[in-house]
Amino acid sequence: MVLDLKLIRQNSTQIQELLDRRKAKEYDLSLVLELDQKHREIETNRSQLSARSNEIGKTIGQKIKNGSSPQGEEIVALKEEGNSLKTQLAELEPQEKELKAKINQLLLQFPNLPADSSPLGKDESENVEVRRWGDEYIPESEGILPHWEIGEQLGILDFKRAVKIAQSRFVNLVGVGAALERALISFMLDSQIAVGYLEVMPPVLVNTESLTGTSQLPKFAEESFKCGEDDLWLTPTAEVPLTNLYRGEILEADQLPIRHCAHTPCFRREAGSYGKDTRGLIRLHQFNKVELVKLVKPEDSEAEHQALVQNAEAILQALKLPYRVIELCTGDLGFGAAKCFDLEVWLPSASTYREISSCSNFHDFQARRANIRFKETGKKGTQYVHTLNGSGLAIGRTMAAVLENYQLPNGTIKVPEVLQPYLKKEVI
């Protein structure tokens, strides 16, 4: 389950209006409501037939106990009615099960509802710029080489041999290039651990249930790499294993908030992106990323989201990389997000900002799919947690930004001050 079916029944018009804000015509609740009506009719009928069948069983037992003959006319008639009911139930039960499966499968195709505070808009052109940081660090763009050119000149990025090993959109990091990647990973992890995140090193092969729980499946199957002989996929982001650590669990309220960070390689087919960013580190099939994931109480959700954005921003500020924060409008929200802020870093060679982190609040959307709940001490029942995640940051895009923003006229790269203790170099 994803969207709350009970809520859809009670507020179908309101839910449809919220889905329409996403500007996607395929999200029509009418079929869900039609199937749900049929399912409830069958469920009611089955329940009534089952109750009558149980009543007949008890009546027969009581009459025989009171001396009626098992072969008597009354008992035989009751048995015939009971057999007829069992035949009807045998027909209804699979119908009910099939309809329920269809409804659940259909609901998996529906995206999250946008938060009321998400700005209305038809597409990315109507996203809202929230703030900019670091204008004073924007270098003169004249003469700055794209990161892939300076990287190849310095011998730290090797795209040609990566094609020989795998295919296009892979890269070999060589020498100081590999060391810079490790430095960025270590710096990001150390920074997030210092502000309260618990590091996890999860599996990077994940099962179908995990990808379904965080909403990559079934809609985005073509974006992921699957192992042909196993129910395992290469993880597209550490969001998947970190969130699914708690799949199917009921947590105690005092365990929340849970804040995890992880570095993993990430794998994406980039289906549908033909011709986009074919050069460089921006859109690779394999890349490293430090991910931040939170499980929180609903009432803390908004504040934890703002804090998550600030945690990601802190990395860019420490590296002194100019960036801006964009709030995504309803027409550009990711499938599972109720509210999202993108961080976009400045790339001088293109004279533009490019996304380097997407910080999303999913409300209870993923928690419903993954069945992650919590229980308050002394209170009846359980509630779904709210899940949040964001990149803190994408390593390859951060490296691209460093190679361009710290490029010197003599063709070398100044190492950001905060990375110098990790890299043990001041200049590349």
The secondary structure of residue 168, as a DSSP letter, is S
Residue 373: half-sphere exposure toward Cβ, Cα within 13 Å: 10
The secondary structure of residue 329, as a DSSP letter, is P
Q: Which of 210, 369, 397, 404 is catalytic?
A: 397
12 a catalytic residue:
no
131 a catalytic residue:
no
H/E element holding 208?
A: helix 208-213
358 a catalytic residue:
yes
DSSP one-letter string for 229-246: TSS-EE-S-THHHHHHTT
* CB of 181 closer than 8 Å to CB of 221: no
Q: Which of 169, 268, 369, 373 is catalytic?
A: 268
355 a catalytic residue:
yes
Q: Which of 191, 358, 360, 391 is catalytic?
A: 358
Contact residues for 413 (Cβ-Cβ < 8 A; gap 6+): 150, 154, 402, 403, 406, 407, 427, 428
141 a catalytic residue:
no
Q: Is the peptide bond before 218 cis (omega within 30 degrees of 0)?
A: yes
CA-angle at 343, arms to 296 and 133, nearest 5°: 115
Identify the three-state secondary structure at position 381. Answer: coil
Q: Cα(90)–Cα(88) distance, rounded to whole angstroms? A: 5
Instruction: Give the phi and the psi of residue 365 in degrees, each rounded to 5.
Output: -60, -55
Q: Cα(78)–Cα(70) distance, rounded to whole angstroms? A: 10
CA dihedral 335, 337, 339, 343 (to 10 degrees): -90
* CB of 372 closer than 8 Å to CB of 384: yes
The secondary structure of residue 269, as a DSSP letter, is -
Query: For the chain, how many helices (H) and strands (E)?
Result: 13, 15
**Largest Cα–Cα distance in the chain?**
108
Q: Cα(334)–Cα(331) distance, rounded to whole angstroms? A: 9
* CB of 281 closer than 8 Å to CB of 147: yes
Q: Which residue numbers are catalytic?
A: 268, 283, 355, 358, 397
